[in-house]
């Protein structure tokens, strides 16, 4: 069963940045991009590296460990060494807060 879970106030995520969000034993990355807010798995699909220290460029996240890139809006793996897509999660804004559907 899916549920909407509050992440934080929208203003807590800088533009072209992301935060780490842990919930229920899982970890997620929540982004503020030029196209709005998005959420993906928190860990890179290449190795167990969290994306929280990665670089957001437009709607692309670059992993801090080996610089693999993913499209944030779809989770698609864009460049080596990553080849497995990230799962994405619906986001909604309500009264200035960000919610993720898990």
Interaction residues for ligand FES, span 81-100 (CB under 6 A): 81-82
- Judged by CB under 6 A, the residue of 13, 29, 39, 44 near ligand FES is 44
User: Nearest approach, Cβ of 62 to ligand FES (angstroms)?
Assistant: 8
Is beta strand 17-23 parallel, antiparallel or unpaired with respect to 26-33? Answer: antiparallel
Other Cβ atoms within 10 Å of 9 Cβ, number: 11
Q: Which is nearer to ligand FES, 9 or 83 (CB)?
A: 83
Contact call for residues 41 and 75 (beta carbons, < 8 A): yes
CA-nearest of 22, 87, 9 to 52 is: 22
User: Nearest approach, Cβ of 86 to ligand FES (angstroms)?
Assistant: 10
Residues in the site for ligand FES, rule: CB under 6 A?
44, 46-47, 49, 63, 65-66, 68, 81-82
């Amino acid at each position: 069963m899916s549920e909407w879970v509050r992440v934080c106030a929208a203003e807590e995520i800088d533009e072209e940045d992301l935060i780490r969000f842990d919930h229920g034993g899982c970890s997620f990355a929540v982004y503020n991009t030029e196209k709005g807010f998005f959420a993906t798995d928190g860990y890179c699909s290449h190795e167990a590296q969290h994306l929280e220290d990665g670089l957001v460029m437009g709607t692309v996240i670059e992993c801090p460990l080996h610089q693999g890139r993913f499209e944030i809006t779809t989770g698609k793996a864009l460049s080596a060494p990553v080849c497995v897509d990230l799962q994405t999660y619906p986001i909604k804004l309500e009264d200035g807060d960000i919610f993720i559907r898990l």
